[in-house]
């Protein structure tokens, strides 16, 4: 999809990378605050390597917990108005540039109730709009044929749909694609995965996490050794 496709790929990569950094930082900060002020415990030693190992351990556990609770790293960044938003989880195939059919609309409403608007995450307004991704006008502007480029429907709320229309107007000049400009929405919706850092902080202090890591490593080594013996016989 040329320039548009490149912009979207870079946007997704950048937002995912920023999301990983954000989750890791939030996890370490939450762990530090929890074990310093809320539930004081023995702090990591002054040894730099051990502190780094502890930070890495907390970061990995926070990221793992975040994902297991249904979070995506892209969901920590502002949503693009021209590509799948931070709350996009599933989509409905869009066979043409036409509006969503009643059947497709029912599927979109179901996704909306479960995940919210794919851009901002709201579930407050059931006046769901089927958002073509990529938008029809963008496909036309970059010289693509609507039937040759795969599009999907994602659930959109009226507010984000209106913002998308304004952003598209700014990005198209004489019917030609001139760039995305300001085409993102800052959002924050309460979701269970935001508690990942708190859950890891409550799992234990640095010594307990270190012991857990050692036990897990020992279990993994023992299991691999047993499997090797089993298959070597």
In terms of pTM, does the model score above 0.85? no
Q: What angle do CA 221, 222, 225 make, to 5 degrees?
A: 85
| Ranges of each domain in the chain | 1-78+187-225, 82-185
- pLDDT tens-place values along the chain, 233 residues long: 444 445 455 656 677 888 899 999 999 999 888 888 888 866 666 778 888 888 898 999 999 999 999 888 877 878 888 888 888 888 999 988 899 999 999 999 999 999 899 999 899 888 999 999 989 888 887 766 555 678 899 999 999 999 999 888 888 776 666 665 557 777 777 778 889 999 988 887 777 777 766 766 676 777 778 778 878 76
Show the CA angle centred on residue 163, arms to residues 150 and 114, nearest 5°.
65
In the block, tokens 């990005």 appear at 171
- Given the structure tokens 């590509």, which residue do they identify? 83
Tokens found for residue 63: 């990221």
């Amino acid at each position: 999809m040329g320039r548009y496709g490149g912009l979207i790929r870079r946007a997704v990569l950048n937002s995912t990378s920023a999301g990983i950094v954000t989750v890791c930082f939030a996890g370490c900060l939450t762990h530090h605050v929890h074990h310093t002020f809320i539930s004081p415990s023995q702090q990591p030693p002054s040894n730099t390597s051990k502190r780094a190992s502890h930070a890495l351990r907390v970061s990995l556990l926070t990221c793992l917990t975040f994902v297991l609770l249904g979070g995506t790293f892209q969901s920590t960044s502002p949503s693009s108005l021209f590509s799948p938003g931070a709350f996009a989880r599933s989509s409905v195939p869009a066979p043409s540039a036409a509006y969503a059919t009643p059947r497709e609309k029912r599927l979109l409403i179901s996704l909306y109730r479960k995940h919210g608007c794919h851009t901002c995450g709201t579930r407050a307004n059931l006046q769901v709009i089927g958002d073509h991704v990529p938008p029809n006008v963008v496909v036309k502007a970059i010289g693509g044929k609507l039937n040759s480029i795969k599009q999907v429907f994602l659930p959109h709320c009226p507010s984000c749909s209106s913002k998308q229309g304004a952003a598209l107007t700014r990005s198209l000049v004489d019917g030609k694609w001139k760039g995305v400009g300001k085409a993102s929405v800052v959002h924050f919706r309460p979701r269970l995965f935001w508690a990942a850092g708190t859950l890891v902080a409550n799992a234990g202090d640095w010594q307990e996490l270190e012991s857990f890591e050692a036990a897990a490593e020992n279990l993994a080594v023992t299991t691999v050794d047993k499997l090797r013996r089993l298959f070597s016989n």
